[in-house]
């Protein structure tokens, strides 16, 4: 199996208190993406995404840009990371 591609994603806007993290977790589980998502003190959301195929990560980023119905995403920044820990699941961190 190919090594997973890791991406760090930062999303700002109205992304806390609108079920953003839970929705991202649902999408990750649907697409087979591993990693985590968490709220940040500044009101943004950060995620670490892993998958073996870039098109799957691109679809995840597209969904994260759209967000759940009550979210208003103003910015989404993503960067590919060098080799990281490999995750076995997708978690919502507190």
Q: Residues with catalytic annotation?
A: 21, 39
Which of 86, 18, 79 has its CA nearest to residue 47? 79
Structure tokens at 19: 């079920």
């Amino acid at each position: 199996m190919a090594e997973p591609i890791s991406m760090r994603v930062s999303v700002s806007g109205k992304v806390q208190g609108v079920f953003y993290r839970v929705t991202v977790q649902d999408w990750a589980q649907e697409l087979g993406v591993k990693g985590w998502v968490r709220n940040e003190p500044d009101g943004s959301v950060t995620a670490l995404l892993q998958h073996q195929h870039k098109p799957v990560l691109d679809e995840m980023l597209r969904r994260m840009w759209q967000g759940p119905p009550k979210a208003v995403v103003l910015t989404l920044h993503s960067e590919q990371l060098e080799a990281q820990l490999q995750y076995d699941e997708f978690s919502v961190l507190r």
